[in-house]
Amino acid sequence: MMFHEMKEKDVEKVLNSNIDQGLSDSEVEKKRKQFGWNELQEGEKQSALMLFISQFKDFMVLVLLAATLISGLLGEYIDAIAIIMIVLINGCLGFFQERKAEKSLNALRELSAPQVVVLRNGEWSKIPSKEVVVGDILKFSSGDRIGADVRLVHTANLEIEESALTGESVPAVKTIDPITEKNASLGDLTNMAFMGTMVTRGNGVGIVTGIGMNTAMGKIADMIQNAETMMTPLQRRLEQLGKILITVALLLTLLVVIAGVVHGHDLYTMFLAGVSLAVAAIPEGLPAIVTVALSLGVQRMIRNNAIVRKLPAVETLGCASVICSDKTGTMTQNKMTVTHLWSGGNTWTVSGTGYHPKGNFYKDKEEIVPHKEKSLYQLLTFGLLCNHAEIQMKDDEFIIDGDPTEGALLVSAMKAGMTRESILKQFTIEKEFPFDSTRKMMSVVVKDKNGKRFVITKGAPDVLIGLSESVLWDGKMQSLSLELQRGIQSSIENLASKALRTIAVAFKPLQEYTNIMHESEAEKGLTFVGVQGMIDPPRPEVKQAIKECHEAGIKTVMITGDHAITAKAIAKQLGILKGKSKVIEGSALNEMSVDELENVVEEVSVFARVSPEHKLKIVKAFQNHGHIVAMTGDGVNDAPAIKSADIGIAMGITGTDVAKEASSLILLDDNFATIKAAIKEGRNIYENIRKFVRYLLASNVGEILVMLFAMLMSLPLPLVPIQILWVNLVTDGLPAMALGLDKPEDDVMKRKPRHPKEGIFARKLGWKVVSRGFLIGLVTLLAFLTIYRKNPDQLEYAQTVAFATLVLTQLIHVFDCRSEKSVFNRNPFGNMYLVWAVISSILLMLIVIYVPSLQQIFHTLPIIPKDWLLIVGLSSVPTFLLAGSLFVRKKE
């Protein structure tokens, strides 16, 4: 018999499970040994050896190795071995860089791995879905992704979207009844839920019947292998650029070789020099350094509580020009405390802070006894009945398990001496219509001790007024006249203008009740009871973050389901709503087309009383204005907007799996300030990539030009091949990496967002590469010429001086690359990685020049102190000449 054909109890027995207690740890261990982990097998991975070998696949490296082999055969052993060593070290460096990149990408994947809620040893807890075993009891609700195949044992309005398995995009309604039909297809198995499918409504509990490859999803795992590319637009652009650079480098090298041969050098020497130059000039390490810079940046973001799920988002972050952010929990603390209550024309206040369930009630500043005031007592009772939250003590602090809004209602009732246990002695809850942010309310059907049934509804006051026919006024039912309606509304607005979030309760006696009653039937013809107003203080760091975003040319927009007046009050406190900026409500959005919204959207700073469905319209309107939009969300209905935003952001704490999977960034702390920090990091990563592209290319231009100039001037080779390769390895390696770790410039959040189509050479970078590269080549040649002209017999000495000049020029120039403006703009010790990289490169250079055994290999001679003056003087020219002239111009 299949699991779907059995009764729940039989499934429990067959799988040795326990629906009430779950499995024990020892049972889990045993089952894991038997069935393994709950994982889908991944596609084939590249082995470490293959990755290492792939470092030498480059055409020019192969030519170099072939040339070296020939020179080895011709007796140039030392040169050959040295070159091979350098190529090997270079390969190792590339290998480690790529491994590091791969590892950090894997770590990222682990971090965003799905979790499930499981019952074990009698307690519910959240665990990575990988740890689930057959027989586990899982619980899931709207927005969750199912972690394994399960046989359902409890459902409440459960609907699951199974299109990945069945192709059916309409969510399937689930029940627990056994299915007797023979040969039922997956789509017919209404009492099963399958790994990887999404809960779109309601909640449920089930026993795990299959894990890993042994699930319906496992059977088609090959088809759903994650094919998503992790390359960022910049990486793609650099790859294209790389191809152009290779061609240019090869052409120039060819020119060097031809010029050399024409001017009398022998072909073999020129060939080896040319190949070495080509290897050095081709920025083959660029893609790996970019990946490392990106992934290190991503790790820094994790430390700041932002997880990047899709690497391209790192770049897009730097272009963001609008952040559309939820209010509750993201801009505010989501720690709600009821401070005001209103019912039937009376207003009460209640003291106390946070979730501590102690406080007094006051009317007109006079303390009162709550259960003596009938309408107040009713308001509190209903707020407590229509409620899931629980209060707990943790580290001497009261915390809420559940929705903070409901927590506040629980606490206000407890302050009046009520508890859920006591209330549940008077009422039993028979049915629930769960909260959703489109309806903006939830209801329960309760039965009192006399067998009378009531619907109790709580939700947004304006919605509840619309559904009410009468109102409880001083304990008496009155018809809800237009006048009364206005009176209630103005009381609610009065609370909202104090930045209070308002929740109303209403009820209805039920004459008839059937289990299949629909929510639209229950939630109408209600009697309005009253409103509780709760504070939700802004997060202290958000105001500053919004200010910084503003200075960085980024507009912050608040999107909230809350009342417009509450939203307005908080937006004002946070500095979002200023001057001419507007508030638009969801009801107005319904009337507008995207085009109409587009006309006004630039002026809107707050969208209030919106439903998640409105978010998509808002994203589109901003995008049509050319904005790069970051949009936050947490629920299932937020997913389309998160997906179509340029940067979709999901909440780590309150976010559902659906929202997280649609997102490119997850905020671990749900905090707005984290978005700002991520944008700053995104801008910095991009700038750092520009910095080392600039450094590497200028260095390469310099290396090619010094050789080209010399050949055109009929001079001997200013650098021998091994020296060129050494420069490529040492000066281009460490300092470039260190530039990738640079801190942002002070004004990084004072600049306008970067245009997404901006090329890598924009903002004069191309000019800087060419001009600095030209000067690097020129001063190296000058150093060579000065020494060589003085003493033409000592070619090796002149080459050593040229070598030292080239290295030092690049090592000074690297500091210039740290700033968009000028080398004088930054403290040279601001990036200690760079300082150490430069110091070690200098030491390595001195070793190559002064250690006798290495002199032989690198064709160097010890440089006399006097010539160091020349070297240092010339080396400073490219950086200080250009930077200095800029400096002077700026001063003027």
Residues near ligand ATP, by CB under 6 A? 326-328, 403, 405-406, 435, 437, 440-442, 458-460, 501, 503, 560-562
Question: How, if at all, do strands 476-479 and 397-401 pair?
Answer: unpaired
Q: How deeply is 229 buried, as exposed, middle or buried, from its count of CB atoms within 10 A (0-12, 13-18, 19+)?
A: exposed
Least Cβ distance, residue 460 to ligand ATP (angstroms): 4
Q: How deeply is 392 buried, as exposed, middle or buried, from its count of CB atoms within 10 A (0-12, 13-18, 19+)?
A: exposed
List the structure tokens of 794.
Answer: 């000592």
DSSP assignment string, 415-467: HTT--HHHHHHHEEEEEEEEEETTTTEEEEEEEETTS-EEEEEEE-HHHHHHH
Residue 595 burial (CB count, 10 A): 9
H/E/C letters for each residue in 60-95?
Answer: HHHHHHHHHHHHHHCCCHHHHHHHHHHHHHHHHHHH
Check: CB of residue 147 under 8 Å from CB of residue 39: no
Q: Which is nearer to ligand ATP, 559 or 814 (CB)?
A: 559
State whether the Cα torsion 296-316-695-818 is positive or negative: negative
The residue number whose beta carbon is nearest to ligand ATP equals 561
Q: What's the DSSP call for residue 669?
A: T
Q: Which is nearer to ligand ATP, 454 or 858 (CB)?
A: 454
Least Cβ distance, residue 503 to ligand ATP (angstroms): 5
Of 193, 32, 114, nearest in space to 23 by CA: 32
Check: CB of residue 318 under 8 Å from CB of residue 326: no
Distance separating alpha carbons of residues 665 and 652, to the nearest angstrom: 9
Q: How many CA atoms lie within 13 A of 192 on its CB side?
A: 25
Least Cβ distance, residue 160 to ligand ATP (angstroms): 22
Distance separating alpha carbons of residues 296 and 302, to the nearest angstrom: 10
Residue 374 burial (CB count, 10 A): 14
H/E/C letters for each residue in 676-736?
Answer: HHHHHHHHHHHHHHHHHHHHHHHHHHHHHHHHHHHHHCCCCCCCCHHHHHHHHHHHHHHHH
Least Cβ distance, residue 521 to ligand ATP (angstroms): 18
Least Cβ distance, residue 167 to ligand ATP (angstroms): 31
Least Cβ distance, residue 558 to ligand ATP (angstroms): 7
Q: How far apart are the first and last CA of the chain?
A: 89
Check: CB of residue 472 under 8 Å from CB of residue 342: no
Least Cβ distance, residue 461 to ligand ATP (angstroms): 7
Of residues 144, 149, 326, 562, which has the active-site annotation? 326
Q: Output the CA angle 46-696-52, nearest 5 degrees.
A: 20
Q: Which is nearer to ligand ATP, 440 or 691 (CB)?
A: 440
Does the annotation count 867 as an active-site position? no
Of 739, 797, 857, 599, nearest in space to 290 by CA: 739
**Active-site residue numbers?**
326
